[in-house]
């Protein structure tokens, strides 16, 4: 791993590989995992669905979870999502 990648890495508590899944599966799997996680823990999600960015932004806006970092590299959408203290149910 390059020094640049190590420097930009964020520590996370859980990982979800949603590559190859299409909407709504990445969001549904994210929702299940976030519901099981403790407050303020970080979930790292990787997805390949081209609509992932829009879907994750909308989901987090509606539930109060926070995308603390987003990256798109070689067709892989990476999200670091902090679990909300009091997430809204949807």
**Active-site residue set:** 23
Closest-CA residue to 46 (of 77, 8, 74): 77
Helix or strand or coil: residue 30?
Answer: helix
User: Strand locations in 1-61, DSSP E?
Assistant: 14-18, 42-47
């Amino acid at each position: 791993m390059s020094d640049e990648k190590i420097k930009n890495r964020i520590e996370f508590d859980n990982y979800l590989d949603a590559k190859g899944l299409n909407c709504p599966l990445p969001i549904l799997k994210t929702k299940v995992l976030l519901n099981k996680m403790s407050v303020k823990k970080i979930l790292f999600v990787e997805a390949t669905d081209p609509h992932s960015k829009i879907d994750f932004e909308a989901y987090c806006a509606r539930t109060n979870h926070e995308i603390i970092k987003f990256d798109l590299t070689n067709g892989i959408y990476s999200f670091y999502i902090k679990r909300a203290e009091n997430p809204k149910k949807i």
